[in-house]
Structure 1
Amino acid sequence: MSCPRCEGGAPRTHEGPDGAAHPRGRRAPGGGATTAPAPVLRVLLVGTPNAGKSTLFNHLTGARQTTRNVPGTTVDLARGTWRPRTGAGTTTATPLALVDLPGTYSLTPVSPDEAVTVAEIDRAGAEPGTVTLLVANAAELHSALFLLGQVGARTERVVVALTMTDVATADGVTVDPRRLAARLGVPVVEVDPRTGRGTDGLVAAVRAVSEHPRPVPGLPGAAAPGTAPDDELDRIDALLGWADDVVESVGAHGSATRSRADRIDALLLDPWVGLPVFVVTLWALFQLATWVAAPIMGATEALVTGPVAGLVTWALDGVGLSGGWLEGLLVDGLVAGVGVVVAFAPLMALMFLAIGLLEDSGYVARVAVLADRLMRSVGLDGRVIMPLIVGFGCNLPALAATRTLPNARQRLLTGLLIPYASCPARLTVYVLLAGTFFPRHTGLVVLAMYVLSVALVLVGALVLRGTLFRDLTHEPLALVLPAYHVPRPVPLLVTTGRRVLAFLRGAGTIIVGVLVVVWLLLSVPVTPGHTFGEVPVHDSAYGRLTDQVAPVFSPAGYGDWRTTSALVTGFVAKEVAVGALAQAYAVDEPVGSSPGELGEQLRATLDETSGGHAPAAALAFMVFVLAYTPCLATVAEQQRMFGWRWTLGAVAIQLSVAWVLSVATFQLLRLVW
């Protein structure tokens, strides 16, 4: 495929129409024509889920990778540059462009992800510069061979990377790669994606196949366009029979005795054992998100807003610029915003590590099977249970956990439901309001908020499945359980670091920008007698903004600028909503479980705004806090994962649902209070 940017003299390395990195050509001495760059070989990674495909991709590309949406879809494709090394440890002259395709069990697409995989493989069959590298799990060889049969019917440039041979051996299955290669007629290279063992042999195999394609012998004929369904079923049966013959001929049979994985599954898939283990696992995740991560987050933010902010102040003082608007912008705006973003990094790192451990060990797939019957009742399958449950610990890593789901539509649907999972940050608001207005029943009121949160997730799933996501198939969960592994620490840490950096770059930019705007609004006086940066909240542009928004909440019983200020600030982060209330009332934040003076001031305000129905208004306020957008960091992560269109639509729906539920709560309860 020609690249017009190469032909037009692109100034530097760029992405060509083949999705590969095109290096800049070199101009010949004397100003002559540029030397054509060496062609870049494109390699597609395809395989069944849990075969080690993405681990191999991460090892081969390192940090030289990007993630982009396929145009017209929400499907992400990871692309990277593979620079193979020679025996001397130096890189070869020509890199390879790798594309990590979504995992699939077959090339009969039933989801957008699988449709993208099929389209890319079909395209590879027509391009001499593209090789398909099929990652085959030796412990699930039959499934890999069925997929290979479908790939081989579309392209003759195929290399097999055989993984999980150690797991297969532990289960009594021995797969000889040389014998398998002789039977298949295509190169088979044994590799360990976690350590990189065997990856050097992939280079020669990929280059050889790109120059000399090799058809897979003995494959059933490919279906012609317009093939009748019965003929397609016959072809699938023939492919399954071919896979059986290959397994038989290479002697890759399992042991007659139960494997270690079978014995463990007999326990974990039994509800009487599996459910308690799952509950303990969730408890550990919540401990990470609250008791373990919270003090680290506080210390991290204090480091930025303390010594770092002091250093900025000292530097400004050294050049005679301290005490002015510039110091306020840098310290209270920019540095404070960076502090909020950096404070999330420990939480994200801990949760990414925990989820990565559960995923790499094979446990997440067992949870999906265990929870499938429950989730089917609301039109979902069991694989969404882990991200949703993690959301009750923190919405942010819960969004990241959706990457374990098999296709983009499921990830998007789950990502839209996660904000309704009540995270611990909302708990501070619940405790303040419940302790002020229901001191004898504080625990019961807080529990009711969490019950309502679960109800919103389930009802939201039913509504979305019946409207925007009708295309999601409602079929029984068909899942090949991966083998159990002991996760390798180095690849796990590398993946965790890459995900945290992606969050800091993507979501961090949005968070810092918005917090700088909030600082600016708080600093601009709108009444005489104040200077820029030295203004009470109500006399600032921010205070006037909340004044304008407050009437919107009058039907819910709390139409006051101070409560509105807490909601607007809470959009940035629910952790600071109580602090915003204290700042608006010019009182100290409550210590412990006692509402203190803030509770008294709040009671007086809601008595006035609700017409004497303060308890009803308090419950309506808590309902709004539960249902509206959890925090700016979550919005930024949704935007990074799903794009602005879905994110802004989700925020609009969350605000609308929260307002309707809040108004309905107040209007109904004021009849009895």
Structure 2
Amino acid sequence: MSCHEAPAAISPGPVGTAVLDEPRIVLVGNPNVGKSTLFNALTGARQRVVNAPGTTVELQEGRWRVGGVPCRLVDLPGTYSLDARSPDEQVAAHAVHDDSTDLVVLLVDAAGLARSLVLAGQVASAARPVVVALTMTDVARTRGLTVPADALADQLGVPVVVVDPRTGAGLDRLASAVALALTHPRRLTTAPSRRVTTPGTAPDTVLEGEAAAAGTAASDDEAERVFAWVADVLAAVQLGGDAPRAPVRTWSDRVDRVLLDPRAGIPVLLVVMWALFQLATTVAAPLIAAVDTLVNGWLADAVRAALPSSGPWHWLEGLLVDGALAGVGTVLSFVPLLALVFVAVALLEDCGYLARAAFVADRAMRAIGLDGRAVLPLVVGFGCNLPALAATRTLPHARQRLLTGLLIPFTSCTARLTVYVLLASVFFPQHAGTVIFVMYLASAALVVLGGLALRRTLFRDVRREPLVLALPAYQRPAPRPIALSVWVRVLAFARKAGVIIVGTLTAVWLLMAIPVTGHHAIADVPVQDSLYGRAASTLAPVLAPAGFGTWEAAAALATGFVAKEVVVGSLAQTAAVAEPDDPAHPGDLGDRLRATFERSSGGHPGAAAAGFLWFVLAYSPCLATLAEQRRMFGLRWTALGVGVGFTVAWVGAVVVFQVGRLLG
């Protein structure tokens, strides 16, 4: 059967199969061809973020009604090749070849036709029904290129529909083509009819370069066959037998002459990173405070007023307000922060700057086995670790996202700064600024050294490879797809990570409410007499070699496991003094801390405080970050990260204290 003939309609399978109930359609394409924008335009809010089974690769699944029939639409990772060498490519290749896939919507970039056709040649080997969505036609026109959809359809043997996901143009025609293809499927063929060389061109050289950039690892024979087919298609569709046109210098090219030059590109990158840091700290702060006031203020007061404050059920107020509702408040307080960072990253990605930032930062990031795209989440991490994890989605491969996600907890978020200011002001009042600066230097060193260590152990497969980027054209961001993407990802955090946060904070309240010594009532017990305090006392001897082996320090660090900013409040609570409004002027808390550390360190409080600072820096991110790590990477990797963090924290704190004690 030739590629132009329509095969017989698919016979319906038994009830419950994907063909009869909900056909499974996958979106396949190179990075930056508008795939995710198309997915958002087709599914709207009817989508969710999931992990591919057994991997850390995030996928988006949604529902798309095609001709009145609900279909499952899957947005696969952007890839240049199905010759899988990375988890992302493995997921994409498996989905294309999987028998549960009923149709492939292949996005072809009109401005980068050769790259897209190399991928199309590999999709053809899966023998799946295909509909081609031709995108970036406007960008192609600015470069003096025209790709006729009808001519391309004749060459590929499958329907080709011109779409613009950003404006919605062509989506109805795409739905009609897909509906027809589900019953009358047509498949790609890559059999070359001839070798074509247009005067003035060298298609083999061009195509082999495209394939190398795409990471194609096919055998020579297979690659030769695909190159021959792509050369035929290019000659017939794009070049049309005419002499090649001179390259057209576009507006994007002129801007890139500035932004890709290190002399201007690096300062611009620093300004953008500074703006992201400010967004994750200063701009988000009033929004977080407003949510906290709403949930832990007005709503908490309303719940308290509706519950008994005395009698046998008085503990219910604490459980609901200080446990469950506090957990809900924690989740909701992160929502504006996440939304802001999601929007900022999406804007940078959609307008085309993110790829340029990766190019400029690449040399610095290659030292730890990552490419330049990792600079964004790591910088955001110094503002807050949680949105930094979300920003790892801009990295091209799952292993790079995982490696970066394990390094982010070593970036010193602003919540730790409160602890630094307190201890530096109490124990090093003449050099407090220097101490805080050293903590941030130590954080950067941990990221670099941690990256080097992980690359030589668990991540040997993350190689230092040259950064090959197909720079997208600059364009105006599309607000609606960005809003949809932000909504879905924030909702995924609230649903999945939120359950963990609320459950853990409720469990912490129970531990602090249950007395184990004395004659206290439930929910009316000093911390040291609670189950929480008993657990802290049990852990305290482990911290003794670091100079702060007291139950007060252990309890504060355990509370910091939930949120770093409450370490100061926990220290004040265990010392039975008021929490200072300004950590730089600790008042009575400073006196209590000096006495406690003097006693626990054997007369070396400064060395013990330095060890405590190191422990706070390294031991674990906050509960919200851990919940997001669990959602993105799974329990095993999250547990490994926590274990490594505690090991680095304890060993480093012991070394800092012992060396400091010896130096006097």
CA-CA distance at 1:568 after TM superposition? 0.5
Q: Partner residue of 1:99?
A: 74
* Aligned match of 1:397: 387
- The two structures, once aligned, show a CA RMSD in angstroms of 2.5
Q: Map of 1:332-371 to 2, 5 A cutoff?
A: 332-371=322-361
- SS of the aligned residue for 2:358 comes to helix
Once residues 228 and 184 of structure 1 are traced to their aligned partners in structure 2, the CA distance between those partners, rounded to angstroms, is: 21
8 A contact 1:175–1:250 mirrored in 2: no
Q: What is the CA-CA distance between 1:149 and the residue it aligns to? A: 2.3
CA contact (8 A) 2:45 2:484 kept: no
Alignment of 1:278-357 (within 5 A): 278-317=269-308, 324-357=314-347
For 1:284 and 1:137, the matched residues in 2 are separated by: 32
Deviation, 1:428, is 0.4
User: Of the candidates 222, 245, 253, which is equivalent to residue 262 of structure 1?
Assistant: 253
In 2, distance between residues paired with 1:373 and 1:541?
51
Deviation at 1:182, TM superposition (A): 3.2
Amino acid in the other structure paired with 1:639: R
Amino acid in the other structure paired with 1:304: V
Identity %: 56
Structure 2 residue 135 is matched with structure 1 residue 163: yes
What secondary structure does 1:440 align onto? helix
Which residue identity is paired with 2:606? P
Q: Deviations over 1:365-393 (max 9, x none)?
A: 11111111122222222221111111111
| CA distance 1:287–1:617, change in 2 (3 Å) | same
Q: Flag the 1:622–1:243 CA change in 2: closer, same or farther, 3 A.
A: farther
Partner of 2:58: 76
Matched, 1:512 2:513: no
User: Is the contact made by 2:147 and 2:238 (CA closer than 8 Å) also made in structure 1?
Assistant: no
Match of 1:443 in 2: 433
2:108 is equivalent to residue 118 of structure 1: no
Alpha-carbon distance between aligned partners in 1 of 2:12 and 2:513, rounded to the nearest angstrom: 52
Q: Which string of whole-angstrom CA distances, capped at 9 and with x for unpartnered residues, describes residues 401-423 of structure 1?
A: 11111121111111111110111
1:460 maps to a residue whose letter is G
Shift in Å at residue 239 of structure 1? 4.5
Q: Which letter does structure 1 place at the counterpart of 2:577?
A: V
TM-score, structure 2 as length reference: 0.90
Separation in structure 1 between the aligned mates of residue 490 and residue 244 of structure 2, nearest angstrom = 42
Number of the residue aligned with 1:63: 45
User: 2:524 matched to which residue of 1?
Assistant: 534
Instruction: Output aligned runs, 1:624-635, within 5 Å.
Output: 624-635=615-626
- What is the aligned counterpart of 2:579 among 580, 586, 589? 589
* Aligned partner letter, 2:28: V
Residues 308 and 314, structure 2, Cα contact 8 Å, conserved in 1: no
Distance 1:115 1:239 in 2: 24
Aligned partner of 1:437: which letter? F
The one-letter code of the counterpart of 2:523 is G
- In structure 2, what is the equivalent of residue 671 of structure 1? 662
Higher relative contact order (CA 8 A, sep 6+): 2
Aligned twin of 2:5: none
* Match runs of 1:81-480 below 5 Å: 81-84=63-66, 92-123=67-98, 130-155=102-127, 157-216=129-188, 219-220=191-192, 229-245=219-235, 246-249=237-240, 256-317=247-308, 324-480=314-470
Separation (CA, whole Å) in 1 of partners of 2:450 and 2:241:
50
* In structure 2, distance between residues paired with 1:48 and 1:116: 14
**Following the alignment from structure 1 to structure 2, what is the Cα–Cα distance between the partners of residues 504 and 252?**
57
In structure 2, do the counterparts of structure 1 residues 252 and 340 end up closer, same or farther at CA, with 3 Å as the change threshold? farther
Contact 2:190–2:226 under 8 Å retained in 1: no
> Which stretch of the first structure deviates more once superposed, 634-643 or 344-353?
344-353
Task: Call closer, same or farther: CA 1:646–1:250 in 2, change over 3 Å.
Answer: farther
Pick the aligned partner of 1:523 from 513, 528, 537. Answer: 513
Compute the displacement of 1:140 (Å). 1.7
How far apart are residue 103 of structure 1 and its match? 1.0
- C-alpha contact (below 8 Å) 1:174/1:252 kept by paired residues: no
By how many angstroms is 1:77 displaced?
Answer: 3.1
Residue 640 (structure 1) shift: 0.4
Alignment length (residue pairs): 630
Q: Secondary structure at the match of 1:83?
A: strand
- C-alpha distance after superposition, 1:36-86 (max 9, x if no partner): xx45332221000011111111221223333433333333333222113xx
Task: Name the aligned partner's letter for residue 613 of structure 2.
Answer: M
CA contact (8 A) 1:132 1:157 kept: yes
In 1: Cα distance, 2:298 partner to 2:517 partner: 34
- 1:117-151 Cα distance to aligned partner (Å, 9 max, x none): 22222235xx7x71211112222222112222222
Aligned-partner Cα distance in 1 for 2:98–2:192: 21
Give the 3 Å change call, closer, same or farther, for CA 251–561 of structure 1 in structure 2.
farther
The 5 Å alignment of 1:9-28 reads 20=18
Deviation at 1:430, TM superposition (A): 0.5
Residue 638 of structure 1 corresponds to which residue in structure 2? 629
In structure 2, the CA distance between the partners of 1:362 and 1:108, relative to structure 1 (3 Å rule), is same
Alignment of 1:659 onto 2:641? no
Q: For residue 145 of structure 2, give the secondary structure of its aligned residue in structure 1.
A: coil
2:33 aligned counterpart, secondary structure: coil
Query: Deviations for 1:535-570, whole angstroms, at most 9, x for unmatched residues?
Result: 111122111111111111000000111111110000
- Deviations along 1:87-135, one digit per CA (max 9) or x if unpaired, are xxxxx432222122211112222212112222222235xx7x7121111
Contact kept, 8 Å, 2:619 with 2:645, in 1: the verdict is: yes
Q: Residues 569 and 579 of structure 2 are in contact (CA less than 8 Å); yes or no, is this contact kept in structure 1? A: yes
Residues 457-488 of structure 1: CA deviation (Å, up to 9, x unaligned): 11111111111111223321111111212111
Gapped runs of 5+ residues in structure 1? 8-15, 23-37, 85-91, 222-226
- Call closer, same or farther: CA 1:306–1:217 in 2, change over 3 Å: closer
Partner-residue secondary structure (3-state), 2:98: helix
Deviation of 1:240 after TM superposition, in Å, equals 4.8
Are the equivalent residues in 1 in contact too, given 2:515–2:521 (CA < 8 A)?
yes
* 1:497-548 residue CA offsets vs partner (Å, 9 max, x unmatched): 1111111111111111111111111111222232111111112211111111
Contact kept? 2:121, 2:226, Cα under 8 Å = no
**Aligned mates of 1:161, 1:482 — CA distance in 2:** 18
Native 8 Å contact 2:620 2:642 kept in 1: yes
CA distance in 2, matches of 1:603, 1:660: 23
Q: How far did 1:321 drift? A: 7.5
Contact in 2 for aligned 1:175/1:251 (Cα 8 Å): no
Q: What is the DSSP-based 3-state SS (H/G/I as helix, E as strand, rest coil) of the residue aligned with 1:68?
A: strand
* Other structure's SS at 2:24 match: strand
Taking structure 1 as reference, are residues 536 and 205 closer, same or farther at Cα in structure 2, changes over 3 Å only?
same
In 2, Cα distance between equivalents of 1:321 and 1:158: 69
**In 2: Cα distance, 1:114 partner to 1:234 partner:** 21
Cα offset, 1:455, TM superposition = 0.9
- Which amino acid is 1:108 matched to? D
The offset of 1:591, in angstroms, is 2.8
Q: 1:83 to 1:601 in 2, by over 3 A?
A: same
TM-score, normalised relative to structure 1? 0.89
Deviations 1:326-377 (A, max 9, x none): 1111111111221111111111111111111111111111111111112222
Cα separation, 2, equivalents of 1:98 and 1:121: 13
Larger CA deviation: 365-374 vs 586-595: 586-595
Q: Structure 1 residues 247 and 153 mapped into 2: Cα distance closer, same or farther (>3 Å)?
A: farther
Aligned-partner residue type, residue 34 of structure 2:
G
User: What residue ranges of structure 2 are gaps of 5+ in the alignment?
Assistant: 1-9, 194-216
> How far off its partner does 1:215 sit?
4.5
CA contact (8 A) 2:27 2:107 kept: yes
